[in-house]
Chain A
Amino acid sequence: MRRLLLALSLLALCAPAPFVPAHAAEPLVADLSKHLVAITTGFAGTDVLLFGAIEEVDGGKTGDVVVVVRGPNRSETLRRKDRTAGIWINSGIAKVDNAPSFYQVASTRPLDQLAPPAILGRHQIGLDHLDLALRVKDGGADTAEYRKALIRLNQKKGLYGDKVLEIGMLSQRLFRTDVHFPANVPVGVYMVEVYLMVGGQVVSAQTTPLVVSKIGIGADVYDFAHQQAAAYGIIAIALAAFAGWLAAIVFKKA
């Protein structure tokens, strides 16, 4: 009976996700509460619920679940300040082309208890295992310092997780976790990777896309500003001139 209920709930959970074949043999199924994070005019950050279920693997052992949410890669430029003639000036530079624009990990257990570093490294699970190709041009700081700085700065912006989030388990089968997307979340197609780990190995993995996109007036303004830059500039000037004129008229009468 319990099994039937579980299967039913799984079916219900998986129904909206076309990427997940919901047959019983699958040891891992997962989905998101929404597949689109819409940045509207009133957007101030949002939570996305990730949920799913795991099956017993052979031998009756239950595994651990790790979730990695990764924003699209982008190139970033890091600069380091140094004191020159008494003032602090940008003196060193490093470029990286494959920094994820967003990175958050959730897990049922601390990462180092789950798998050896080689496995975590292969799947880039955890900030320590991110593959970042930094090209450093700086006599005063090395790659490791720049790497730490990149992670620290992105953590400060809320784009990289400060710590590994906890995944809650329900009756050792169902799992859920909330992933927070701050207001400054970069747009693009995100990948939500869910791993089932047993005995230090990845037994099953599933990837679900999540789209973060500007929607509505804000998006239109942004597109217009980039695609019709000249018209945008002229409208911006006209709006300002009109507002200024209007203010002068209104307050002259008052």
Chain B
Amino acid sequence: MQIYLPIAEMSVNVFVILGLGGAVGFMSGLFGVGGGFLMTPLLIFLGVPPTVAVGTEANQIVASSVSGVLAHWRRGNVDVRMGLILTLGGFVGSTLGVYLFRWLRGLGQIDLVISLCYIVFLGIVGALMLVESIQALLASRRNGGAVAVRKKHQHGWMHGLPLKMRFRRSQLYISAIIPATIGLFVGILAALMGVGGGFIMVPAMIYLLGMPTSVVVGTSLFQIIFVTANATFLQSTMNHTVDVVLALLLLLGGVVGAQVGARFGVKLKGEQLRSLLALMVLGVCLKLLFDMVTVPNELFAVGTGGKH
């Protein structure tokens, strides 16, 4: 069954989009990630214009993070104060990101920058996660199941910064500048890459802020709602690249897939999950890198200029 997407201006098979939403939702339920980093490249691969893929994905992530955060909220795993500070930075960051997006689109280099961002950040995060999870797997084998306790992060110079705040749920007393800066940085990337940014935010919260892992995912999801909502709004008003029909189809498949994935996830060990996720992240990264260095089939590309 074909359906015409009004903003993407193309006709797609409903079941392909539902299936795509379901498959990526399954992954995100399984691994506890947003899945934007998989969905955006896949949409582009299907022929959705990259600008529409990025804008629409921001809209879909609003839905998936709302549904995700509620479970964490009920268990009290959301540090609202930390989330708000991150959101503050994220708002500024995603606004800058959308402007940057528009500017790069005018220069004709938006596709390049999107690809480069994916390669760099997926490469770093994937490699770190793989090394860490393999070490954990080896350690658990050696210690007969006991997982090594991670040392609390030492802050050093970060403790000298002003505007100190107490984050009770995270058991931290740190300068608000640090989370605001992280929020800003991740916000820029989220707007540029069409992702929630959880895959950068979560490691940053653990390793840079030293937050306890129990509140990390809930707090990350909490701030992603607002950052992606801001990106959705700006992409709609500035670039007209949010396709609600596409977003609704994706999230319909996505919510079902995520529930199935989450049920599967409890059967697997954390280290196994993380190493699988790392391999997948690295796979996407290598595919994009490969596309960039090999001679393309078509050296020319056409884009319509005189549109609204």
Which of A69-77, A113-121, A162-170 is near enough to bind chain B? A69-77
Asked whether, in the complex, the Cβ of B306 is within 8 Å of the Cβ of A75, the reply is yes
Cross-interface CB contact of B248 among A77, A149, A232, A243, cutoff 8 Å: A243
Question: Given known contacts A41-B3, A251-B259, is B242 in contact with A244 (CB within 8 Å)?
Answer: no
Asked whether, in the complex, the Cβ of A245 is within 8 Å of the Cβ of B66, the reply is yes
Asked whether, in the complex, the Cβ of A240 is within 8 Å of the Cβ of B60, the reply is yes
A44 at the interface (CB under 8 A from B): yes
A144 at the interface (CB under 8 A from B): no
A251: chain B residues at CB < 8 Å are: 67, 255, 259
Which of A12-20, A88-96, A103-111, A203-211 is near enough to bind chain B? A88-96
User: How many residues of chain A have a CB within 8 Å of chain B?
Assistant: 60
Asked whether, in the complex, the Cβ of B63 is within 8 Å of the Cβ of A247, the reply is yes
A59 at the interface (CB under 8 A from B): no
A222: chain B residues at CB < 8 Å are: 6-7
A81: chain B residues at CB < 8 Å are: 296, 299-301
The closest CB in chain A to the CB of B252 belongs to A243
The closest CB in chain B to the CB of A249 belongs to B70
Task: For residue B112, give the distance in angstroms from its CB to the closest CB of chain A.
Answer: 6
- List residues 8-30 of chain B with CB under 8 A from any CB of chain A: 9-11
The closest CB in chain A to the CB of B56 belongs to A236
User: How many residues of chain B have a CB within 8 Å of chain A?
Assistant: 58
Cα A153 to Cα B65 in complex, Å, equals 38
Asked whether, in the complex, the Cβ of A79 is within 8 Å of the Cβ of B303, the reply is yes
B304 at the interface (CB under 8 A from A): yes
For A44, A77, A225, A237, the residue with the greatest tally of chain B CB atoms inside 10 Å of its CB is: A237
A243: chain B residues at CB < 8 Å are: 63, 67, 248, 251-252, 255
Task: For residue A249, give the distance in angstroms from its CB to the closest CB of chain B.
Answer: 8
Question: Given known contacts A79-B303, A149-B300, is B251 in contact with A240 (CB within 8 Å)?
Answer: yes
- List residues 259-308 of chain B with CB under 8 A from any CB of chain A: 259, 292-293, 295-296, 298-308
A45: chain B residues at CB < 8 Å are: 11
Which of A1-9, A193-201, A213-221 is near enough to bind chain B? A213-221
Task: For residue A51, give the distance in angstroms from its CB to the closest CB of chain B.
Answer: 27
Task: For residue B35, give the distance in angstroms from its CB to the closest CB of chain A.
Answer: 14
A154 at the interface (CB under 8 A from B): yes
Question: Given known contacts A88-B296, A233-B232, is B304 in contact with A245 (CB within 8 Å)?
Answer: no
B303: chain A residues at CB < 8 Å are: 76-77, 79
> Which 7 residue pairs spanning A and B have beta carbons closest together?
A244-B66, A233-B236, A183-B11, A149-B300, A75-B306, A247-B255, A244-B63
Question: What are some 14 contacts across the A-B interface (CB < 8 A)?
Answer: A40-B4, A74-B304, A74-B307, A79-B301, A82-B299, A90-B108, A93-B108, A97-B306, A149-B300, A221-B7, A222-B6, A240-B60, A240-B63, A247-B67
Q: Other than A75-B306, A76-B305, A221-B245, give 9 A-B pairs with Cβ distance below 8 A.
A: A44-B11, A74-B304, A79-B301, A88-B292, A236-B59, A236-B242, A241-B62, A244-B251, A247-B251
- Mark A residues whose CB is within 8 Å of B: 39-45, 74-83, 86-90, 93, 95, 97, 146, 149-150, 152-154, 183-184, 214, 217-219, 221-222, 225-226, 229-230, 232-237, 239-241, 243-245, 247-248, 251-252, 254
- Mark B residues whose CB is within 8 Å of A: 1-7, 9-11, 59-60, 62-68, 70-71, 108-109, 111-112, 225, 229, 232-237, 240, 242, 244-245, 247-248, 251-252, 255, 259, 292-293, 295-296, 298-308
